[in-house]
Amino acid sequence: MTTDASDAVEIRNALLRLRRGTGLPVAFGGLLEAGQQMRISELSGTATHALRSLVVTSGTGLGGKTVALARPCVVTDYSVSRQISHEYDAPVAAEGLRSVLAVPVVVRHRVRGVLYGALRTSQPLGGRMLDAAMEAARDLERALVVRDEVRTLAAGAGAGPGWERVREAHAALRALAPRIADPELRAEVHEVCALLTAESAGPARVGLAPREVDVLACVAAGATNAAAAERLGVTPETVKGYLRSAMRKLRARTRGEAVVAARRAGWLP
């Protein structure tokens, strides 16, 4: 499994929450790919690219130990710690990191990724920092659960893997359209969106407001409220309001049901 664009947004948001909550200046992380390997895909507050795309194997280094044990791990001085193996000392040293914590991202009892926070000095990372890092991981876990639900419902509705790209493109175009100043070009973008949904149009369309469709398009592409807000240029609370309104109109109890109902009504591809 590779990290797609929506996953990257969620990881970046989680890293920002980790830095704000812990006060740590550096954060990085990624999701598991094939087998028990995790690739560091997102960096926040780093001074170099030494850690980017680093592949961490289960059981090796601090992050690999976190994957293997499915629990948080902390070292006060990475390069000399006897609690971990040292396959990744070179990139860690290149970034100048010493005190590092790693927390697992666990979805349905399976480790799906790791978030790290770090200092460039050697000092203990206390329980408050670890709690804040874990809370950031919990937020990412909830985001991944939503994405899994949407993908499962889409598969149940007979959607093939090619539709994921179509839906991502549809969501991106819906988000882009309001920012286009030229009215003719904006209208053309809306026409393209209509073409993408024409094949799925049902016999009767529930009346949805444009921003409700924008939010549902983001959700259909796997975005959480925070990611949808970032993409649409609004607040997460505004996204929640549009989503609640759309769910009420579509008579849906969950986000996933709302996406399926919107597809059946022809609002989404």
Is the model's pLDDT at 17 over the cut of 80? yes
> In this predicted structure, what is the pLDDT of residue 9?
81
Cα–Cα distance measured from residue 254 to residue 259, given in angstroms and rounded to the nearest whole number? 9
pLDDT in tens, 199-258: 455 544 678 898 999 999 888 888 888 888 888 889 999 999 999 999 999 988 888 888
Taking CB atoms within 8 Å and a gap of at least 24, the contacts of 252-255 are 254/149, 255/146, 255/149, 255/150, 255/219
Cα–Cα distance measured from residue 46 to residue 100, given in angstroms and rounded to the nearest whole number? 13
Indicate the pLDDT class of residue 96, thresholds 50, 70 and 90: very high
pLDDT in tens, 108-126: 889 999 999 999 999 999 8
Indicate the pLDDT class of residue 44, thresholds 50, 70 and 90: very high
Is the model's pLDDT at 160 over the cut of 60? no
> In this predicted structure, what is the pLDDT of residue 29?
97
> In this predicted structure, what is the pLDDT of residue 152?
60
> In this predicted structure, what is the pLDDT of residue 91?
97
- Extract the tokens encoding 216: 């549902």
pTM of the model: 0.62
Cα–Cα distance measured from residue 118 to residue 103, given in angstroms and rounded to the nearest whole number? 12
> In this predicted structure, what is the pLDDT of residue 5?
66
Residue 160, C-beta contacts closer than 8 angstroms, at least 6 positions apart: none
